[in-house]
Amino acid sequence: MPHSMTVVTSRAFGFALMLTALCQAAAQNNNTPYPAMAPLAQYMMDRDAEIALARSAAPPSISNDAEVMVLGPQGYTTAVKGTNGFLCIVERGWAAPSDNPDFWNPKLRGPLCLNPAAARSFEPIYLMRTKLVLAGNSKKQMVDETVAALDKKQLPALEPGAMCYMLAKHQYLGDGPKSWHPHLMFFVSGDAGKSWGADLPGSPVMAANFPEEKATILMVLVDAWSDGTPGPAVDMN
């Protein structure tokens, strides 16, 4: 896949999404169709549908025993208790950097299944951002509060080995990329793309720097969705 800014825009959301997929070149465009938060109901999902979508982020051998969280008016709560330490969750647009034009896009759905290290040390950042957003804070307030919490060590330090699966066929990562590619994401402190050989010709590793979380998200595309069906063809040239 060409290593263009457009592709970085879609892959950084994971999410992130998380996320995430999404953005730095597109973030320069101020003509976003989503300049403010939509009514809260537009970000909500049917509870059972959200559980199913969250679990589809990873193979059933992992997600069937994972904790599942769903979004409510006050933030995320546990809908299903897990036994293997993994956490499955559907992130919304505010998982992306605050300058992302899709930040308030109510259609975004980024299903992730985080391993125990990521569930303990990376996802708390997103959960805090969610509470701040739902409490009516501005983007700047959300960023300032998150950075302050990281600086004061009120949020946990990122653990080595933190990663997640993003294999949901029905993810929606933006009005353009939508489901994009099944992929794995690895969370590393600081600006770590160079040390992983990310974004070099022929390298399967792609990187997106997230200074608001003081982390780099490294992404590796895989061949199939969580249901075993093939993902889109990948061109690494």
Residues 102-139: tens digit of each pLDDT? 999 999 999 999 999 999 999 999 999 999 999 999 99
Say what the pLDDT of residue 177 is: 64
Chain mean position to CA 30: 23
Residue 5 has pLDDT above 70, yes or no: no
| Mean pLDDT score across all residues of the chain | 87
Say what the pLDDT of residue 175 is: 86
pLDDT band at 237 (very low <50, low <70, confident <90, very high): low
Note the pTM of the prediction, 2 decimals. Answer: 0.86
Q: Helix and strand tally (H, E) in the chain?
A: 6, 8
Say what the pLDDT of residue 211 is: 84
pLDDT band at 4 (very low <50, low <70, confident <90, very high): very low
Query: Rounded to whole angstroms, how far apart are CA atoms 211 and 153?
Result: 16
Say what the pLDDT of residue 31 is: 66
pLDDT band at 203 (very low <50, low <70, confident <90, very high): very high
Average pLDDT (184-207) is 94
Helix, coil or strand: residue 8: helix
